[in-house]
Amino acid sequence: MRSHSETRTGNRYDEPMVSHDVSEETPSTTLLVARLHVDLCRLASAICTSRAAL
């Protein structure tokens, strides 16, 4: 999975989730909250990056 931009910005939220981020042993509610957190951080990062370009 590639970042929304081809250049690497150094933002960890542009990276795909790896096996130690989520596992089968993680309770489903915690997993959903963690994924939501990462998605919101990616969204915030994309907004900040696009605003900085203005």
Q: Cα torsion for 24, 10, 39, 1, to the nearest 10°?
A: -60
Looking at every residue in the chain, the average pLDDT score rounds to 70
pLDDT of 3-29, one tens digit each? 455 555 555 656 665 555 555 665 678
Residue 35 pLDDT greater than 80, yes or no: yes
* H/E segment holding residue 49: helix 28-52
Residue 38 pLDDT greater than 70, yes or no: yes
Residue 1 pLDDT greater than 60, yes or no: no
Is the pTM of the predicted complex or chain greater than 0.75? Answer: no
